[in-house]
Structure 1
């Protein structure tokens, strides 16, 4: 793929990271209005009983007015970072590569977070380094309903199941609840380690 347009998300889905791994240029949408129930502030990991939602609380605008995603501020009134990290540890501490990556990821759950988009972009930078994806993304300067590049913004929708059928890989908790698709790329990274990039490049991501 040439250039693609996506939303910055919280520990992106495998589908989104596969699209990124296969693109020559990545452009992130920076001029959209914030919408609920999307991967902008949530991701799914495997857990003992199946999938587990990790959701970042946000401060909603006064009066219910729309706000730009780039202006959304995270709600830190309760320890969501501590809870998320504990859940990730419980889910993946026995996976083959968790210890290999935990030192690079742990700071995201200890350092104070303010704006959601900035946080997601920081996560993207570290993830691409860990996976081995060479990407220098740019941000949009205006909102285009019909962009002239590959539009993968639909991958942000957490309510819609992706069309893509992912290849199976070994999941640490598979014996307990079967194989789980459409998880955060964290699941792939902790289970596949250095093979993550090869896996992402081999998936057929449908628009």
Structure 2
């Protein structure tokens, strides 16, 4: 875990992901607040409306169809294409195919089913709901807030992140290592925001549908949940590198 100086408030600021992967769940667990960055442009072919689960013969991609309008449409405005029967397809893939014999499926079957029984109009609401489901099942109680509810932000890129952190009363940003190439650390410091790097290590755990080497990483976090159940958070935390 991150050693927190007195008064330090750590934020992770990240775009919403559908059925989020373990790297995002780890980052949220290590933060005092998760700010859902829903005010930026929706990424086509990104992870905001899709993710991988374990398939019978490798990874299976689940994609929520969205309505394509303007290329610069914001995440918070992106609508789901409900003319397609994606809810039935995804629920069957999770409960009846990929994880039908997973050891802990039955513990979460009812909650998963309720999520897919609802009609979702906007992608951000569905993505946040899948994240909250995972956080609750893992036992993570980090508050989740939407950037669009914190105010209007005029900055771009690193300046935007700094403004969001300030609005969330955070003085530290926990960032994934993939942002090292583009995050302007000096600019964030000018706004009073320190940066800590996540250094995520993916846990290895008993997995029903592993790959050729017995394990497939970088799947949706629900894979760990169905395979490890109440032990999921302990497994996630135990993989962290000591600081």
| Alpha-carbon displacement from aligned partner over 1:15-47 (angstroms, at most 9, x marks no partner) | 111111122221110210111111100010001
The TM-score normalised by the length of structure 1 is: 0.86
Is residue 4–residue 152 contact of structure 1 (8 Å, CA) maintained in 2? no
| Alpha-carbon displacement from aligned partner over 1:43-86 (angstroms, at most 9, x marks no partner) | 1000110000000000011xx44201100000011211101111
2:187 is aligned to none
Task: Give, in angstroms, the shift of residue 202 of structure 1.
Answer: 2.9
2:75 paired residue among 55, 69, 78: 69
1:193 is aligned to 229
Is residue 65–residue 84 contact of structure 2 (8 Å, CA) maintained in 1? no
Q: Report whether the alignment pairs 1:46 with 2:54.
A: yes
| Alpha-carbon displacement from aligned partner over 1:148-205 (angstroms, at most 9, x marks no partner) | 42344969xxxxxxx8441210001237773100000010000010011112223348
Q: Which has the higher contact order (CA 8 A, sep 6+)?
A: 1
Structure 2 gaps, min length 5: 3-9, 163-172, 180-198
1:25 is aligned to 33
1:123 is aligned to 130
**SS of match in other structure, 2:19:** coil
Q: Report whether the alignment pairs 1:107 with 2:143.
A: no
Is residue 18–residue 203 contact of structure 1 (8 Å, CA) maintained in 2? no
Is residue 26–residue 200 contact of structure 2 (8 Å, CA) maintained in 1? no
The 1:116–1:13 alpha-carbon spacing in structure 2 relative to 1, beyond 3 Å, is: same
> Could you tell me how far apart the structure 1 residues matched to 2:212 and 2:56 are?
7
Larger radius of gyration: 2
2:67 is aligned to 59
The TM-score normalised by the length of structure 2 is: 0.74
Is residue 80–residue 120 contact of structure 2 (8 Å, CA) maintained in 1? yes
The 1:97–1:201 alpha-carbon spacing in structure 2 relative to 1, beyond 3 Å, is: same
> Could you tell me how far apart the structure 2 residues matched to 1:172 and 1:3 are?
34
**SS of match in other structure, 1:5:** strand
Q: Report whether the alignment pairs 1:9 with 2:17.
A: yes
Is residue 34–residue 69 contact of structure 1 (8 Å, CA) maintained in 2? yes
> Could you tell me how far apart the structure 2 residues matched to 1:175 and 1:137 are?
33
Task: Give, in angstroms, the shift of residue 136 of structure 1.
Answer: 1.3
Is residue 42–residue 78 contact of structure 2 (8 Å, CA) maintained in 1? yes
